[in-house]
């Protein structure tokens, strides 16, 4: 029997219903959660991402603002817009869609966003809070992965977890969240010589590389939980993840769990962005 699927669409739907109800309660108290999304340039993938984010906001009853600028926007103008949004009481979360054009320093942009409104959780302050175990806004993708693992009922305490990938936006915060949940965590990356030696003993594997078939059936143990963050295209141009899905699903057996791509991590990322914006609106005094 193949592993059970972890359904990110269904989990997102139930979480968004909860978020919508809490947003309505806040709106009733005169504090409708508000997200500002800034897009600089005309990258088509980025345009789709921001549209989906704004649409999700509207569906949950949030106030949302989408600001689009030409790719030539000077860095100083972008920083000035962020400063204005930092001071805007109707806005609780600010997101600048990455990547920004080359003449703009992404670090400066991220650090310009007020910590309380850093709903992407990418700033040094937010990363430091996560590292120190302090409250704060967590990066949406790893936060969503944690919710997906939680939904399986598998308790992380004492389990072996392997994260493949160490980006600041996915791999590293993922490892920190797993550590906080008392898993024993190993992080693999492009210089790890024998990744299978780690994953074969893992109870949970999170793959965030961006390369098809990074995790194959011979690299996992039966019964493991696999979270596939990757977004790639297969030979037919269809969306696929970082794992060899059909073979790996068989190898895990019926006690294993795996996220599909699409329909796993993707929908959860936007949901956790909404959760962060709601959280930011709820803590405003």
φ/ψ bin of 100: left (φ > 0), alpha (ψ from -120 to 50), beta (otherwise): beta
Residues numbered 266 to 285 that lie near ligand NAP (CB under 6 A) are 266, 269
Does 260 bind ligand NAP (CB under 6 A)? Our answer is no
43 classed as catalytic: no
The residue within the footprint of ligand NAP, chosen from 190, 234, 239, 246 (CB under 6 A), is: 190
77 versus 233: smaller Cβ distance to ligand NAP: 233
- By the 10 Å C-beta count (0-12 exposed, 13-18 middle, 19+ buried), 200 is classed as middle
Catalytic choice (118, 120, 203, 242): 120
97 classed as catalytic: yes
The residue within the footprint of ligand NAP, chosen from 93, 173, 230, 256 (CB under 6 A), is: 230
Residues numbered 105 to 164 that lie near ligand NAP (CB under 6 A) are 141, 164
188 versus 243: smaller Cβ distance to ligand NAP: 188
238 classed as catalytic: no
| 16-21-23 Cα angle (round to 5) | 90
Does 240 bind ligand NAP (CB under 6 A)? Our answer is no
User: Distance between CA 124 and CA 172 in Å, rounded?
Assistant: 13
Q: Which stretch binds ligand NAP (CB under 6 A): 71-79, 185-193, 196-204, 276-284?
A: 185-193
b/e map 69-98, b = 16+ CB within 10 Å = beeebebeebbebbeebbeeeebbbbbbbe
Binding mask 193-212 toward ligand NAP (x if CB under 6 A, else -) reads ---------------xxxx-
Contact status, residue 86 vs residue 113, Cβ threshold 8 Å: yes
- Quote the tokens at residue 191: 């210089």
The residue within the footprint of ligand NAP, chosen from 30, 157, 191, 236 (CB under 6 A), is: 191
36 versus 174: smaller Cβ distance to ligand NAP: 174
Check whether the bond before 27 is cis (ω within 30° of 0): no
- Residues with active-site annotation: 53, 97, 120
Binding stretches for ligand NAP (CB under 6 A): 141, 164-167, 169-171, 188-191, 208-211, 214, 229-232, 265-266, 269
């Amino acid at each position: 029997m193949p592993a059970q699927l972890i359904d990110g669409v269904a989990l997102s739907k139930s979480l968004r219903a909860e978020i919508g109800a809490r947003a309505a309660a806040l709106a009733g108290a005169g504090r409708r959660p508000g997200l500002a999304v800034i897009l600089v340039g005309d990258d088509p993938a980025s345009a789709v991402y921001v549209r989906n984010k704004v649409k999700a906001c509207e569906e949950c009853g949030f106030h949302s603002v989408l600001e689009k600028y030409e790719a030539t926007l000077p860095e100083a103008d972008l920083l000035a817009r962020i400063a204005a949004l930092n001071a805007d009481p109707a806005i609780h979360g600010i997101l600048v869609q990455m990547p920004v054009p080359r003449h703009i320093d992404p670090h400066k942009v991220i650090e310009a966003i007020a910590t309380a409104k850093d709903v992407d959780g990418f700033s040094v302050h937010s990363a430091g809070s996560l590292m120190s175990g302090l409250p704060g806004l967590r990066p949406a993708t790893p936060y969503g992965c944690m919710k997906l693992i939680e939904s399986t009922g598998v308790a992380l305490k004492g389990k072996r977890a392997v994260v493949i990938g160490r980006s600041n936006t996915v791999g590293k915060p993922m490892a920190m969240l797993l550590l906080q949940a008392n898993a024993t965590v190993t992080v693999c990356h492009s210089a790890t010589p024998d990744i299978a030696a780690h994953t074969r003993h893992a109870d949970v594997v999170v793959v965030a590389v961006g390369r098809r078939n990074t995790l194959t059936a011979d690299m996992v143990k039966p019964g493991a939980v696999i979270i596939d963050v990757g977004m790639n295209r297969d030979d037919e141009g269809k969306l696929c993840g970082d794992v060899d899905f059909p073979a790996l699903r068989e190898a895990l057996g019926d006690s294993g769990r795996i996220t599909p791509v699409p329909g796993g991590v993707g929908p959860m990322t936007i949901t956790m962005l909404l959760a962060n914006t709601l959280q930011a609106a709820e803590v405003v005094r």
